[in-house]
Structure 1
Amino acid sequence: MNLVQEALRYLNDPYNWTRDGGILDLLVEHLQISASAVLAAMVLALPVGMLLGHTGRGGGFTVALSNVSRAVPTLALLTIFAVTPIGFGPTATTIALAVFAVPPILTNTYVGFRSVDRDIVEASRAMGMNARQVILRAELPLATPLMMTGVRTAAVQVVATATLAALVAGGGLGRIITLAFAQQNYGAVLAGAILVALLAVLTEAVLAALAWAVTPGPRRRWPLPRVRTASDSGQAVVARPR
């Protein structure tokens, strides 16, 4: 029996899914760790990126921080945490993954705000908007697509990297892989890798749909009816999408 058949047999066994510490329990732990890390990164990176992008300052700092953060392996952070009061466990994994998720969110938020047409910003100020209103009502809607791209990229990376939690007494789908390696059950190793890959693809799809939903303005795929005024008769004509 080859590895693919062994992996499929492992995945088709209901006991592997429903037992205590089975696939379903590990999946919930994996999602909890990943979601906590991404949310923590968003809380930190989004306001900083919005502020720096609005003011136009700190571009060099943003790029440098992004490059330095990406150069630090997550496993190295977990090793450092092991000799600190943080120690091993889900908390250490969540912090390390949050650090890993900050660069794409911060960079894309900054670039998204800087990509907003300056004429729109000046027009908003000319209408009497203060800085907060300009950020929330003018720049934020236009920067949302790039911001969501950063969140989506970070989330997929975190979901894939969260398998390292099993190396530091954490939970998640990585436990299937590490335990199978210890038992030399390479079919189960492949099954664990398949589960992580499918979860990453599903995360990408869900967040892509969410990004489409929260992006303001007309949708390219399902455009809404558009009303225009006929120049000759002055009557409203509805142009329906084809």
Structure 2
Amino acid sequence: MADERLIVALDFHEMDKVQALVENLGDCVSYYKVGMELFYSVGVEVITYLKQQNKEVFLDLKLHDIPNTAARGLCSLARLGVSILNVHASGSYTMMKTAIDQLRQETARTGIPCPKLIAVTVLTSIDQTDWTAIGQKTNIQEQVVRLAKLTKQAGLDGVVASPQEAQAIRQACGEEFMIVTPGVRPSGVATNDQSRIAVPMQALKNGASHLVIGRPITAAKDPHAAALAIIKEMEMVR
């Protein structure tokens, strides 16, 4: 049985690889993330396919633009019927507030279910060296929590943040706030391009509501077995 807290990242650019993985994973995975690589390559086709398979979709395009442009973009994407959309929290309170207000108004007007809207705080690939190089004076966790609180104030449903900041965000933003965490790596698996990571059980204990996991499943010799092992670990935390 699928654990809806697990979101498998489809880090491909070809539909045949998507279909092969989804068929392999079957009923043990119900939620998938479609990011820039895949969406820019095959477009709406992948959303249509996943919906036909009764899967939920996190469309991870990280909109970051002037308020009205970001808001109208989200309204267009909502028509695809995905479950989660996202923006960059660094786009400002005004951008996020405009985005969520227009998204809810548009979906109410058209009768489309309103997707959850979450905001990216600080990318999990960024380490302290990169953080300092772009001129940041505060530490990463302090900035992540600041952006999470701003996201909640703007009325969004949650954030994307690393599992290392999940506990502080949970304390600052409450139990109903979504915390979607990339950078989750089972023990013994390569970290790849992620810097701020944790194992699945620890990420959930820290306060994560959803775990985004890609290559530990998609690049495994047996993706189905890899997913089941992760789900088994996740089931130990409720």
TM over 0.5: no
Larger radius of gyration: 1
Structure (1/2) with the larger strand percentage: 2
Higher relative contact order (CA 8 A, sep 6+): 1
Structure (1/2) with the larger helix percentage: 1
Structure-1-length-normalised TM-score: 0.23
